[in-house]
């Protein structure tokens, strides 16, 4: 039971009025000296208990009459199930919190959780009395107020409920519930309630303690959660997608790892994973081995992009009852074919012992899809430098100062340079401008043999070999090397057993530079003969191609922003998704200090997106939007814990049992009347009996 005007209950102490009157009457007796006391005492002895009982009965009746009168004014109401008849609907201030997260898209085979939730919310709303107030807040991982304050325009709430569509966002009910409590606290109205319609996904209720605190902070507001659906549907999800290299070039074969998680309660077998670029047909597919319940498996697929620029990858598994996570996209910036420049003097003898030979072989083995050009130092011009992606300097002693300056400009502009020393490099480099921007300094020549160590492999190029169980790097040794001292801010790729770095790297302007301590020839190091060498060279190429950085991956509901040249300011921005045809307008390029800025509206739908600017055919940017992998876990929260969070043992009932307050003053009026009649009758009877 509850009260629609609970402040009037403050008058409840008025039940003491009959008692006070009784005491006042008793308090001023008329004194009488009395002779025939023995007869009076006999009468008192015989009747006192009866009369005391009579007085008590009358007193209780009068107290009850006053109490019921106060209760009647406080407008008592009872909780009655929606749809029950025989009770008068009471005005209520209700905020409807509707979960529209991605998980609400799961279906029971016929209807989605969102459709069911909307239906239940509409049913509840229809049972509101005409003078009730209602508001609507959509819950994702944030609160989306649709009808933010309780309004008497129930039709508005009704229409908005009808128009609600699902999102692909993650769930956290707390922000929406908090907002609902805050709005109700500011709103007038008697009975204040928050109705939460959710699939009760575990992640949605993760802020249970905070919700419990809210219930304590706003004691006058009741929280009712209405779970939709009995339990989470069995689900298989793509939880991750990664491409190696992160910035492939046109024609390069890239490896793509697709993570698939089995979120059902039994093992699944034969999950087929397909991979496509943009909206094209799948290029590759794989069938996964059996995945135990709750475990994940990865499919390794390959893909080749026919064009450079911003592209999207699309991995897909067969649809289940929650299709939102059966498709996942990734935006990829595909570069033009790289041009690797090997700066080396022509070989006097067997060319198979030169650095150029080993580097060309390694680059070819990695199928980087680029062009390898060996250029003598004397032919190095600025045109040659600017056409290159990465320059491997194998004869630094013959590089002139002007050429070093050219390479510095090349690096600062975003290029990559790798320097291998040769016989007299140490002394030669000390007198060149290269010492200003190379990541380290070469010292004296070390002739004692030393091996690599497995530890300290934190550099992006060598991090993949940090696991000693996979690879042993300790059989790589160098017989002839230079002492290499890193400059401040430089990072070692790996180290020898004596602590001297194998190579160091640093960022120089927009580009990167790497300095090795040995020449890439077998006479100096066993590295070049090791199977690890081509992979290391491939990693170096990917590391140095900084201009081909990865594209951002957003969560649904986030906005994408990127800087563009100032010439594009004021031009329209369009978005193209790999999941739909055509382009949609997404604002204009705004001015931001000295450059233009693209700021899209929040993107709700997952997929790979390309951003185009008016008047340009090439995409200006690309990004991907993917649902939170946690949203794929459809396990429902323990109803008991939800009830505890609500602070109401009766909450968490089935959707059919949603209860709203109905005025029950008629019941109390009848009771009051009966009490009044009983009091009158008894009082009359007692008076007549005197």
Partner 1 sequence: MKPHVVARERVQPLFDPEALARAESLGLMARSIVEGYRVGAHRSPFQGFALEFAQHREYAAGDDLRHLDWKVLGRTDRYFLKQYEQDTNLVAWVLLDASESMGYGSTTLTKLHYAKACAATLAHAILLQKDAVGIGIFDTGIREQIARTDNQGKIHEILRRLAAIKADGQTDIGETMEKTALAFRNRGIAIVFSDFFEDEDRLERGIRRLRFLRHEVILFHVLDHQEIAFDFRGSCRFEGLEGTPSVQLSPEDYRKDYLRAFGEFQARIRVIAERNACHYVLADTSHPVAEVLGGYLSLRLRMGRSR
**Closer to partner 1 by Cβ: residue 58 or 453:** 58
Question: Could you tell me which of 668, 653, 652 has the C-alpha nearest to residue 87?
Answer: 668
Determine which residue in the list 12, 19, 20, 51 makes contact with partner 1, applying CB under 8 A.
51
SS3 readout for 632-661 = HCCCECCHHHHHHHHCCCCCCCCHHHCEEE
Determine which residue in the list 18, 23, 28, 415 makes contact with partner 1, applying CB under 8 A.
28
Q: Which residues of 592-611 are buried (b: 16+ CB within 10 A; e: fewer)?
A: eeeebbbebeebbebbbbbb
Determine which residue in the list 7, 25, 109, 488 makes contact with partner 1, applying CB under 8 A.
25
Inter-residue contact 138 to 604 (CB < 8 Å)? no
Determine which residue in the list 7, 29, 216, 448 makes contact with partner 1, applying CB under 8 A.
29
Residue 458 sits in the site that holds partner 1 (CB under 8 A): no
Our CA angle for 484, 487, 489, nearest 5°, is 130
**Closer to partner 1 by Cβ: residue 30 or 186:** 30
**Closer to partner 1 by Cβ: residue 24 or 163:** 24
Minimum gap (Å) between residue 42 Cβ and partner 1: 6
Look at the alpha carbons of 523, 529, 532, 537 in this order and tell me if their dihedral is positive or negative: positive
Determine which residue in the list 10, 23, 46, 155 makes contact with partner 1, applying CB under 8 A.
46
Question: Could you tell me which of 135, 138, 134, 164 has the C-alpha nearest to residue 147?
Answer: 135
* Part of the chain binding partner 1 (CB under 8 A), chosen from 23-31, 185-193, 368-376, 654-662: 23-31
Determine which residue in the list 1, 20, 42, 670 makes contact with partner 1, applying CB under 8 A.
42
**Closer to partner 1 by Cβ: residue 46 or 272:** 46
Determine which residue in the list 110, 165, 266, 690 makes contact with partner 1, applying CB under 8 A.
690
DSSP 8-state secondary structure symbol assigned to residue 552: P
Residue 26 sits in the site that holds partner 1 (CB under 8 A): yes
Minimum gap (Å) between residue 666 Cβ and partner 1: 38
Binding letters toward partner 1, positions 630-669, x by CB under 8 A? ----------------------------------------
Minimum gap (Å) between residue 48 Cβ and partner 1: 8
Inter-residue contact 353 to 521 (CB < 8 Å)? yes
Residue 688 sits in the site that holds partner 1 (CB under 8 A): no
* Part of the chain binding partner 1 (CB under 8 A), chosen from 26-34, 60-68, 331-339, 403-411: 26-34
**Closer to partner 1 by Cβ: residue 43 or 549:** 43
Residue 444 sits in the site that holds partner 1 (CB under 8 A): no
Which residues 6+ apart lie within 8 Å of 586 measured at CB?
573, 574, 575, 600, 601, 611
**Closer to partner 1 by Cβ: residue 32 or 163:** 32
Q: Residue 643 has which token pair?
A: 């009830």
Residue 49 sits in the site that holds partner 1 (CB under 8 A): no
Residue 35 sits in the site that holds partner 1 (CB under 8 A): yes
Binding letters toward partner 1, positions 323-352, x by CB under 8 A? ------------------------------
Determine which residue in the list 12, 23, 44, 497 makes contact with partner 1, applying CB under 8 A.
44
Binding letters toward partner 1, positions 475-514, x by CB under 8 A? ----------------------------------------
d(CA 569, CA 597): 7
Determine which residue in the list 7, 30, 109, 163 makes contact with partner 1, applying CB under 8 A.
30
Determine which residue in the list 43, 300, 367, 475 makes contact with partner 1, applying CB under 8 A.
43
CA-based radius of gyration for the chain = 40
Residue 23 sits in the site that holds partner 1 (CB under 8 A): no
d(CA 648, CA 679): 38
Residue 689 sits in the site that holds partner 1 (CB under 8 A): yes
* Part of the chain binding partner 1 (CB under 8 A), chosen from 28-36, 176-184, 188-196, 528-536: 28-36
Q: Are strands 92-99 and 191-198 parallel, antiparallel or unpaired?
A: parallel
* Part of the chain binding partner 1 (CB under 8 A), chosen from 41-49, 367-375, 416-424, 601-609: 41-49
Residue 447 sits in the site that holds partner 1 (CB under 8 A): no
**Closer to partner 1 by Cβ: residue 7 or 34:** 34
Minimum gap (Å) between residue 17 Cβ and partner 1: 18
Question: Could you tell me which of 563, 630, 561 has the C-alpha nearest to residue 602?
Answer: 561
Interface with partner 1 (CB under 8 A), residue total 25
d(CA 669, CA 649): 29
**Closer to partner 1 by Cβ: residue 47 or 153:** 47
Q: Residue 349 has which token pair?
A: 């003898």
Question: Could you tell me which of 328, 332, 337 has the C-alpha nearest to residue 610?
Answer: 332
Question: Could you tell me which of 120, 10, 8, 129 has the C-alpha nearest to residue 663?
Answer: 129
Can you name the residues that pair with 285 across neighbouring β-strands? 274
Determine which residue in the list 16, 20, 47, 585 makes contact with partner 1, applying CB under 8 A.
47
d(CA 629, CA 240): 8
Q: Locate the DSSP E strands across 164-266.
A: 191-198, 221-227, 236-244, 253-262
Question: Could you tell me which of 530, 466, 457, 528 has the C-alpha nearest to residue 495?
Answer: 457
Q: At 132, is the secondary structure helix, strand, or coil?
A: coil
Look at the alpha carbons of 474, 476, 481, 482 in this order and tell me if their dihedral is positive or negative: negative
* Part of the chain binding partner 1 (CB under 8 A), chosen from 35-43, 62-70, 206-214, 662-670: 35-43
The string of DSSP letters for 447-466 reads -S-EEB-SS---STTTGGG-
Residue 163 sits in the site that holds partner 1 (CB under 8 A): no
d(CA 572, CA 157): 35
**Burial class of residue 208 in the structure, from the number of CB atoms within 10 Å of its CB (0-12 exposed, 13-18 middle, 19+ buried):** middle
Q: Locate the DSSP E strands across 487-605.
A: 491-495, 501-508, 511-516, 553-554, 561-564, 572-577, 583-588, 590-592, 595-599
Residue 40 sits in the site that holds partner 1 (CB under 8 A): yes
Residue 685 sits in the site that holds partner 1 (CB under 8 A): no
Residue 32 sits in the site that holds partner 1 (CB under 8 A): yes
Residue 33 sits in the site that holds partner 1 (CB under 8 A): yes
Determine which residue in the list 39, 56, 497, 680 makes contact with partner 1, applying CB under 8 A.
39
Residue 36 sits in the site that holds partner 1 (CB under 8 A): yes
Distances (CA, A) of 125 to 137, 194, 300, 590: 14, 12, 51, 43
Inter-residue contact 72 to 672 (CB < 8 Å)? yes
**Closer to partner 1 by Cβ: residue 41 or 510:** 41
**Closer to partner 1 by Cβ: residue 25 or 85:** 25
Q: Which residues bind partner 1 (CB under 8 A)?
A: 25-26, 28-44, 46-47, 51, 687, 689-690
């Amino acid at each position: 039971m509850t009260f629609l005007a609970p402040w009037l209950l403050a008058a409840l102490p008025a039940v003491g009025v009959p008692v006070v009157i009784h005491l006042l009457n008793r308090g001023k007796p008329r004194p009488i000296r009395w002779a025939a006391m023995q007869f009076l005492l006999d009468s008192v002895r015989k009747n006192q208990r009866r009369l005391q009982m009579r007085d008590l009965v009358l007193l209780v009746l009068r107290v009850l009459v006053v109490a019921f009168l106060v209760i009647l004014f406080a407008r008592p109401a009872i909780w009655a199930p929606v749809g029950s008849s025989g009770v008068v609907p009471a005005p209520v201030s209700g905020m409807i919190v509707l979960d529209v997260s991605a998980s609400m898209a799961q279906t029971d085979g016929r209807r989605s959780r969102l459709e069911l939730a909307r239906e239940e919310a509409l049913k509840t709303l229809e049972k509101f009395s005409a003078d009730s107030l209602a508001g609507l807040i959509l819950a994702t991982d944030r609160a989306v107020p649709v009808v933010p304050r309780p309004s008497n325009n129930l039709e508005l709430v009704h229409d908005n409920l009808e128009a609600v569509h699902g999102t692909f966002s993650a769930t956290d009910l707390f922000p929406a519930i908090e907002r609902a409590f805050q709005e109700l606290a500011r709103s007038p109205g008697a009975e204040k309630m928050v109705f939460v319609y959710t699939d009760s996904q575990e992640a949605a209720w993760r802020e249970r303690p905070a919700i419990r605190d809210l219930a304590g902070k706003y004691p006058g507001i009741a929280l009712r959660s209405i779970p939709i659906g009995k339990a989470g549907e069995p689900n298989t999800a793509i939880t991750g997608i990664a491409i190696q290299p992160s910035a492939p070039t046109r024609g390069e074969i890239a490896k793509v790892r697709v993570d698939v998680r089995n979120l059902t309660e039994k093992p699944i077998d034969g999950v087929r994973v397909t991979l496509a670029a943009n909206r094209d047909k799948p290029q590759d597919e794989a069938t996964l081995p059996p995945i135990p319940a709750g475990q994940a498996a990865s499919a390794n697929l390959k893909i080749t992009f026919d064009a450079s620029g911003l592209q999207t990858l699309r991995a897909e598994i067969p649809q289940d009852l929650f299709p939102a996570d059966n498709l996942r996209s990734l935006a990829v910036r595909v570069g033009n074919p790289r041009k690797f420049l090997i700066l080396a003097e022509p070989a006097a003898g067997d060319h198979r012992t030169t650095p150029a030979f080993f580097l060309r072989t390694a680059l070819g083995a990695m199928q980087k899809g680029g062009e390898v050009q060996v250029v003598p130092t004397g032919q190095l011009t600025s045109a040659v430098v600017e056409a290159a992606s990465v320059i491997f300097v194998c004869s630094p002693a013959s590089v002139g100062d002007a050429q070093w300056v050219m390479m510095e400009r090349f690096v600062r502009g975003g290029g990559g340079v790798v320097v291998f020393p040769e016989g007299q490099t140490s002394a030669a480099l000390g007198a060149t401008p290269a010492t200003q921007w190379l990541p380290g300094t070469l010292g004296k020549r070390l002739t004692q043999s030393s091996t690599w160590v497995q530890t300290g492999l934190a550099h992006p190029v060598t991090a993949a070999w940090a696991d000693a169980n996979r690879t042993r790097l300790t059989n790589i040794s160098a017989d002839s090397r230079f002492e290499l001292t890193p400059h401040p801010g430089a990072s070692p790729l790996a180290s020898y057993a004596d602590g001297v770095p194998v190579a160091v790297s640093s960022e120089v302007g927009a580009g990167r530079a790497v300095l090795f301590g040995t020449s890439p020839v077998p006479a100096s190091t066993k590295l070049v003969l090791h199977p690890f060498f081509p992979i290391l060279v491939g990693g170096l190429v990917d590391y140095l191609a900084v201009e081909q950085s990865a594209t951002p991956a957003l969560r649904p509901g986030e906005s994408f922003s990127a800087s563009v040249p100032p010439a594009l300011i004021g031009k329209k921005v369009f978005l193209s998704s790999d999941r739909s045809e055509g382009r949609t307008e997404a604002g204009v390029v705004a001015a931001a200090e000295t450059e233009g800025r693209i700021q899209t509206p929040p993107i709700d739908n997952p997929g790979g997106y390309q951003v185009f600017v008016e008047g340009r055919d090439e995409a200006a940017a690309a990004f991907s939007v993917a649902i939170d992998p946690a949203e794929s876990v459809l396990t429902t929260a323990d109803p008991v814990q939800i009830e505890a969070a609500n602070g109401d043992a009766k909450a968490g009932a089935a959707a059919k049992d949603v209860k709203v307050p109905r005025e029950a003053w008629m019941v109390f009026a009848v009771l009051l009347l009966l009490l009044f009649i009983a009091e009158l009758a008894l009082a009359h009877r007692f008076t007549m009996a005197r």
